[in-house]
Amino acid sequence: DRQTLKIAVPRGEGLLAELFKQLESERRSTGGGTSRSADGGVEDESAAAADGNDVGEQALPLCRKLDCSYVGEPGEGSGMTRMVVTDVTKALRAAEGAGAGLFQRSPLVATTHAKWWEREPMGRVVPAQEPSVASGASAANAGAVRDESGQEAVQRARQEREDRLQGVGNVIGLCLLHGVKFPLFFCRHVYKAMLGRKVNYADYAYYDPSNHSMLLSLVRDASSMDDEEDMMLAWDETVGFTTQLE
């Protein structure tokens, strides 16, 4: 059924890997997806149109009704799809399998428990920091990481991470399209970045309220300080704040 995007995934650690694999296969499919040339243009549009396919449908091969299920288990329909999507978000919060290195909890999550998502299921997350070139490399192999083959390995790893993030974006888009809840909650600046809106300092309050308040008070104090008081202060690079001069 070309109107339905059927996704069958296993339970457990392999869930995300299989999900991303099937989504990528759908994106690369020439039957109902896009086929791009070296310059980024869509190929064979006329041929596809001759087959009765709409060009808009080609450009958005995943814009079909999402139908998820578990491999070897009975069940189908919207209820099963919601269950799979919920398990997807749990795996992303847990950073399991293919979800490793994609997201991390925000400072808004109060608990220090290792499985924080079980204590705070609505705890907000942010994209994890992208690993550096020598991330995880020991002193012995740091030089190898910097050579040409190491650089290529890093680029492959970055591209693979971007592909996984694209898979997450595909699922979020499908959930929005069909009214399925995607219970993975981001901080405000992440939503604004998704929407292409400008992120400003006020958004920091929705990520780390304590630091936002502290930095704001420092700015306010500095703006109200007269020149004579300002000359009595020095910046301490060790601790990172102003101290009184003796």
Residue 60 scores a pLDDT above 80: no
Is the Cβ–Cβ distance between 184 and 99 less than 8 Å?
A: no
Q: What is the mean pLDDT of residues 4-18?
A: 90
Going by pLDDT thresholds of 50, 70 and 90, the confidence category of residue 91 is: very high
Mean residue pLDDT of the chain comes to 76
Least confident of 11-15, 63-67, 115-119: 63-67
Which among 35-39, 123-127, 129-133, 234-238 has the top mean pLDDT? 123-127
Task: Return the pLDDT at 57.
Answer: 43
Least confident of 52-61, 70-79, 162-171, 221-230: 52-61
Residue 85 scores a pLDDT above 70: yes
In angstroms and rounded to an integer, the radius of gyration of the C-alpha atoms of the chain is 24
Task: Return the pLDDT at 10.
Answer: 94
Residue 245 scores a pLDDT above 80: no
Please give the full DSSP string across the chain, using - where no structure is assigned.
-TTEEEEEE-SGGGHHHHHHHHHHHHHH-TTTS--B-TTSPBP-HHHHHHTT--HHHHH-TT-SEEEEEETT----SHHHHHHHHHHHHHHHHHT-GGGTTTEEE-TT-----TTHHHH-TT--EEEPPPPPTTTT--TTTHHHHHSHHHHHHHHHHHHHHHHHHHHHHHHHHHHHHHT------B-HHHHHHHTTPPP-GGGGGGT-HHHHHHHHHHHHHHHH--HHHHTTEEEETTTTEEEE--
Task: Return the pLDDT at 36.
Answer: 38
Between 31 and 5, the more confident residue is: 5
Among 195, 198, 201, CA closest to 213: 201
Going by pLDDT thresholds of 50, 70 and 90, the confidence category of residue 138 is: very low
- Assign 3-class secondary structure to 69-90: EECCCCCCCHHHHHHHHHHHHH
Is the Cβ–Cβ distance between 9 and 70 less than 8 Å?
A: yes
